[in-house]
Amino acid sequence: MRASSSALLRDLPVLLVAVVWGSSFLAVQRVAEPDTVVAMLVLRFGLVLPVLGLFAWRALRGLRRAEWLGGAALGLVLGAIFLLETFGAVHTSATNAGLIISLTIVFTPLAESALARTPLPRPFLAAAGLAVVGIALLTGEGGLRAPSAGDLLVLGAAVVRTVNVLATARVKAIRETDTLAVTWVQLATATLVFAAVAPFVGPSPWTVAAAYGPAQWGWLLHLTLLCTLFAFFVQMWAVRTTSPSRVSLLLGTEPLWAAVFGITLAGNHLGPLALLGGALVLVGTEWGRRTASAPPREAESAEPAERASVPV
């Protein structure tokens, strides 16, 4: 009984991360319009960097030039993810965005398999096909309608997320580098790019900040404190106190929570076939997750803790 209670206490914070990530698509829609996306990103990560920097300061001082450059390169990729995902979220429903982005779960093993030239299990391929059929039903609203621009942008974000995962694993300069330090460099690089681009694509971050009311500031702080800082630190803690596979499975419920928030709070309405599509995405991505990464218990316990990912 005590063991099960202890496991529940370890799992609960990770599950809360999945919940707040699921709410992030709705939060983005509450604080950003198409012409204020870049300014909002500057504000969001401008608030994150000082806090994260306090914890990462000692490690940052010890970084070598190659580590700074490696982190900065990954930061450019991360910036592309944020731009695609955020622009996509303001041009589609919160439900669609949350479900489409989950395709990263099946894209990543497919890409790894192609690079390594190793076949994937047939159940995984069936799961991937199921998820793709689900996306077609979901974005077509159960008919033959072409996906919206927002749907395609979020799909692009899922593809670039896959690139980011593969690149992070292969950039030799940062393999042994402190996670906090690399994360700070990535976010700082992406934020500098956003700040440089912002004046040319819409109002300045300061103008947007001044125009925000209490509700919008509340949603922005939700994105900053919960969806980014809280999520990052929980991941770092979780991969050291429980198995990476367990963390992955719990975080995999993110699209389910995105659908819950989209339908209950954002008022997203899905027809019967679109609902079926959403269900197929959830089933396909979860099935794919389980069939693509099921390491033996001994191998799993022998592996080092996974690097915590940057919350997106």
Lowest-confidence pick of 113-127, 239-253, 270-284: 239-253
Nearest to 235 by CA among 244, 20, 85, 56: 244
DSSP-assigned states of every residue in 163-180: HHHHHHHH-GGGTTS-HH
Per residue in 226-258, pLDDT (tens digit) is: 999 999 999 888 877 776 667 777 787 888 889
The pLDDT assigned to 79 comes to 95
* Token pair recorded at residue 198: 């912002």
Mean model confidence pLDDT for the chain: 85
Assess contact for 88 and 150: CB atoms under 8 A.
yes
Residue with tokens 């980014």: 228
Tell me the pLDDT band of 303, cut-offs 50, 70 and 90.
Answer: very low
| Whole-prediction pTM | 0.86
Torsion angle (degrees, nearest 10) of CA 175, 180, 186, 190: 170
Residue 269 CA to residue 274 CA, distance in Å, equals 9
The larger pLDDT score, comparing residue 128 to residue 245, is at: 128
Residue with tokens 């990530």: 21
* Token pair recorded at residue 10: 């370890």
Handedness of CA 299, 237, 250, 141 (dihedral sign): negative
Nearest to 278 by CA among 136, 163, 179, 169: 136
CA distances from 292 to 84, 104, 107, 231 (A): 26, 13, 11, 24
Per residue in 75-117, pLDDT (tens digit) is: 999 999 999 999 999 999 998 998 899 888 888 888 888 888 8
Establish how many alpha carbons lie within 13 A of residue 271's alpha carbon, considering only the half-sphere containing its beta carbon.
Answer: 8
Tell me the pLDDT band of 138, cut-offs 50, 70 and 90.
Answer: confident
| Side chain identity, residue 61 | R
